[in-house]
Amino acid sequence: MDTVQIEITDACVFRCGNCTRFCGSKKPFYMEMDYYRRAVDSMVGYPNMVGIMGGEPLLHPQFAEICDYALATLGKKHLGLWSTFPAGYEHHRDTICRTFDYIFLNDHSRGDIFHSPILVSSDHVFRNDPENPLRWQLINDCWVQNTWSASINPKGAFFCEVAASLSMLFDGPAGWPVEPGWWRRMPWQYGEQIEWACRRCGCAMPLQRRSSQDERDDVSPDNLIQLGLVKSKKVAAGDVVVHEAPQLVSKGELAYHQAYKDTAWRQTVAAKYGIFLEVTDRGFWRPHLQKCISAASRPSAFAEMQAKYQ
Ligand code: SF4
Ligand code: SF4
């Protein structure tokens, strides 16, 4: 995998529909520093990227200390940050540029970013034909597993970041112990976690996606019962859409869900913190400080010329 995430909190300033961390559903956690240091230590030797992620990681009260420890232990070229750049946390911009070689920004300020219906379970989608081999073919081809990350959260280490947050949400089984080299496991060792998580998850199912700005979650009746048991705040608030008979669509009919990769738009998000982004040879976004926030917020020379001569 390209990245392993360390999820330091599931608190967020938003409560997007079908959030992969189920923000707004439960009381948030803030990772304890001893456990966090163990998580970072376990990644020593990992050749790719370690992500600091949430929820919104900047909301962690020890964010600066978290950055310092990761930088000293793993080195800048192995560190990425996933953030919305929330208002009121701009003072972290120096720390961010000093610590991370990559930042992945998505402040959900555009409506064309879509989220998969995670809580429409594959168990329910295939309720009438549970032995249908298509189900496990789809799971084997899950886009999250193919393109996103493994993860460490307070429950342990997981092969899939969504499996990790499902386990947090449903008080599910613990992950693997957070110990050096846990990430060397191979897919044939994922069986127990796949068996527990992928049955409850809808990400691998070609089901229509929802705009992230819609704060409701799509759920299947079996997961609705489980959400009741864990006293989901979103269920209590009526912010769920229950799918009794979810319909698979062709992959071509699915809403495009990666509009957040638009570099020009990401520059505008970064500019809120007085940061500009350089696209690296790996296609990621490296942060640099602008001299001052107002300079970063100004339109580029190109945009000024375009406005003048159009
Ligand atoms: S910004 Fe991200 S973490 Fe926060 S609620 Fe939205 S999807 Fe979830
Ligand atoms: S839990 Fe399974 S189905 Fe869900 S995103 Fe992870 S790999 Fe895909």
Q: Is 144 touching ligand 2 by the criterion CB < 6 Å?
A: yes
Ligand 2 nearest atom to the CA of residue 163, by list position: 1
Q: Where is pLDDT greater, at 175 or 293?
A: 175
In which element (H, E) is residue 73 found? helix 63-74
Name which residue sits closest to atom 8 of ligand 2, judged by CA.
142
Per DSSP, the three-state class of 211 is: strand
Q: How many A from CA of 193 to the centre of ligand 2?
A: 10
Mean pLDDT of 1-22: 95
Pocket of ligand 1 (CB under 6 A): 12, 14-16, 19, 21, 23, 54-56, 84, 108, 212
Task: Inform me whether the pLDDT recorded for 260 exceeds 80.
Answer: no
Strands 150-153 and 156-158: antiparallel
Residue 305 has pLDDT above 70, yes or no: no
pLDDT of residue 82 exceeding 90: yes
Backbone angles phi, psi at 60, to 5 degrees: -65, 130
Exposed e or buried b per residue across 167-189, where buried means at least 16 C-beta atoms within 10 angstroms of its C-beta: bbbbebeebbebeeebbeeeeee
Tens digit of pLDDT for each residue in 152-180?
999 999 999 999 999 999 999 999 999 99
State pLDDT tens for residues 186-225. 999 999 999 999 999 999 999 999 988 999 999 999 999 9
* Tens of pLDDT, residues 12-36: 999 999 999 999 999 999 999 999 9
The pLDDT of 41-54, averaged and rounded, is 97
Q: What pLDDT shows up at residue 229?
A: 95
- pLDDT at position 109, please? 86
Ligand 1: atom nearest CA of 106 is 1
Atom of ligand 2 nearest to the CA of 204: 3
